[in-house]
Structure 1
């Protein structure tokens, strides 16, 4: 897989934005991607150095509308920490 197949989208929340000060960036990634795949994809896509990757598999939530109910899709979240000497990701800097 190429980098854009692994990294689906950035996660933009209050909690994820507070991590930018510590060089922690949050992404939705492919469910089959490993930590090594995620680190290589972020390094290739944003030209930065990755120190570590933490992943979380997020379960889908139960949603109801009237009598019918179903689940939202489950997905995988990755928190990528960059090294101290690495530059920051410009995409997130524009959000601040």
Structure 2
């Protein structure tokens, strides 16, 4: 698996932005990626030292879609909480 395919996007929610003060960053990752691959990808892409990686899987919800209200299941998501020991990730670069 390529490094660019491991981290999908940062999670930008109120809870995730509050955790940035504690050097904990939240990313949505590939479902097949494990903790070691996530740590390696983050260290290479952002040039930071990772202290700890925690993973949770959000199960996809069921939604009614369309004219006939057919039930569809949304995809599962893997969320990684990454605690840094050194460095900082600039999620929103200054203009």
Partner of 1:58: 58
Deviation at 1:4, TM superposition (A): 1.1
Partner of 1:14: 14
Q: Deviations over 1:27-65 (max 9, x none)?
A: 010111110100000000100000000000111001113
Partner of 1:79: 81
Deviation at 1:77, TM superposition (A): 0.5
> Which structure 2 segments of 5+ residues have no match?
none
**C-alpha distance in 2 between matches for 1:53 and 1:61:** 25
Closer/same/farther in 2, CA of residues 19 and 93 from structure 1, 3 Å limit: farther
* Runs of 4+ in structure 1 over 4 Å off: none
Deviation at 1:67, TM superposition (A): 2.6
Q: TM-score of the superposition, structure 2-length normalised?
A: 0.90
Structure with a larger share of its residues in helix:
1
Partner of 1:2: 2
**C-alpha distance in 2 between matches for 1:67 and 1:33:** 34
SS at match of 1:8: strand
**C-alpha distance in 1 between matches for 2:4 and 2:31:** 14
Q: TM-score of the superposition, structure 1-length normalised?
A: 0.89
